[in-house]
């Protein structure tokens, strides 16, 4: 049974980007119903936007098979989990002066558009928890990927008493509970990545590769793709652009061209939510057909692009896929 959100979409989303949203969501569902799998990519500040309110349920219901995200999205879901009550929203952020911004810095509030992340309650609290794990694995010589450190912490229960939101609204908690395959390229470009570098420089950590690298993530992605794709066509649902999307979609041409494995299937579905402009030469704004020339998508691959705000579009698509 479809719920009120799905019924609203059926009634009103008939043309242009609205119709693309509906078509893409329905094709997503059809892809899964046909035995397919789905990799979801998260760019931008989707975790600070609290996308977990819908994405977590997508994960729990098996609508997401794997995730590729930025280091920022990985950590910011946990920041929100333990420090939500200390966040500050600034609905009139466009009116802020440089002096206003400096005052926020003095209060240790780091702004992401209309939302300020509290340094001490969020970033430093998580640094304390993760540093203990970094040091333990550094001394034991047992490197892990960035997401595996956070999975370990969340599943241990050590942060449970500090939760300030319902953990059901944390997509990372849902992912950890399902041991969802995850890939985090460019993790170094994140708050925890910066902290890790600092602790390596300070000598707190002796092995820089205690946190495994992006090249190893690509190798892990290639292994996962080759295991899953022959039996279950893998779709690609891209939120935003940047490395979160660019990195994983390249696994197919890498397997075909660099490893000479032409039998590996192409991506079986593609959808991108983006507001990037194609004419600027940005890859994030490239229409799906351009990816055919790079050996990423096929002529017959279902392809969708929704040129809109992902914070509006993604929850609506997830709601429809979930039957809300």
Condensed to tens digits (0 to 9), the pLDDT of residues 169-207 reads: 999 999 999 999 999 999 999 999 999 999 999 999 999
Residue in this structure with the two tokens 């046909």, named with its chain if needed: 34
- Of 25, 2, 91, nearest to 273 by C-alpha is 25
pLDDT given at position 1? 61
Taking a C-beta distance cutoff of 8 angstroms, is the pair 6, 320 a contact? yes
Assess contact for 70 and 42: CB atoms under 8 A: yes
Q: What is the pLDDT of residue 143?
A: 98
Can you give the pLDDT at residue 274?
Answer: 87
List C-alpha distances in Å: 83 to 115, 117, 127.
13, 8, 13
Domains of the chain by start residue, with CATH = 4-322 (3.40.910.10)
pLDDT digits (tens, 9 = 90+) for 260-296: 999 999 999 999 998 877 767 766 667 888 999 999 9
Distances (CA, A) of 180 to 63, 125, 169, 187, 312: 11, 25, 16, 18, 25
- What per-residue confidence (pLDDT) applies to 281? 72
DSSP 8-state assignment for residue 144 = B
pLDDT at 145: 98
Q: Return the pLDDT at 280.
A: 73
- What is the pLDDT, as a whole number, of residue 155? 98
pLDDT of residue 286: 74
User: In percent, how much of the chain has pLDDT > 90?
Assistant: 94
Q: What is the pLDDT of residue 283?
A: 67
pLDDT along the chain (324 residues), means of 10: 92 97 98 98 97 98 98 98 98 98 98 97 96 98 98 98 98 98 97 98 97 98 98 97 95 98 97 81 76 94 95 98 98
């Amino acid at each position: 049974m479809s719920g009120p959100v799905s019924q609203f979409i059926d009634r009103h989303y008939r043309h242009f980007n609205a119709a693309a949203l509906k078509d893409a969501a329905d094709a997503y569902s059809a892809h899964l119903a046909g035995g397919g799998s789905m990799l979801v990519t998260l760019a931008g500040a989707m975790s600070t936007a609290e996308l977990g309110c819908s994405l977590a349920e997508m994960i729990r219901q098996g609508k997401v098979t794997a995730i590729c995200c930025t280091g920022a999205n990985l950590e910011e879901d946990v920041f929100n989990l333990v420090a939500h009550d200390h966040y500050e929203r600034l609905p009139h952020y466009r009116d802020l002066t440089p002096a206003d911004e400096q005052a926020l810095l003095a209060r240790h509030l780091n702004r992401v558009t209309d939302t300020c992340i509290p340094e001490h309650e969020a970033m430093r609290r998580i640094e304390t928890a993760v540093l203990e794990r970094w040091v333990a694995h550094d001394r034991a010589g047992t490197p892990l990927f960035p997401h595996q450190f956070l999975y370990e912490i969340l599943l241990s229960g050590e942060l449970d008493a500090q939760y300030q939101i319902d953990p059901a609204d944390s997509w990372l908690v849902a992912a950890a509970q399902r041991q969802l395959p995850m890939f985090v390229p460019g993790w170094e470009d994140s708050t925890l990545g910066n902290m890790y570098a600092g602790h390596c420089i300070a000598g707190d950590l002796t092995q820089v590769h205690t946190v495994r690298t992006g090249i190893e993530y690509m190798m892990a992605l290639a292994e996962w793709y080759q295991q899953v794709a022959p039996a279950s066509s893998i779709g690609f649902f891209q939120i935003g652009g940047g490395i979160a999307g660019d990195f994983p979609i390249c696994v197919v041409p890498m397997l075909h061209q660099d490893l000479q494995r032409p039998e590996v299937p192409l991506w079986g579905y593609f959808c991108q939510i983006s507001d990037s402009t194609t004419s600027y030469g940005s890859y994030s704004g490239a229409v799906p057909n351009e990816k055919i020339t790079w050996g990423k998508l096929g002529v017959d691959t279902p392809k969708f692009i929704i040129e809109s705000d992902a914070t509006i579009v993604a929850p609506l698509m997830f709601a429809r896929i979930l039957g809300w």
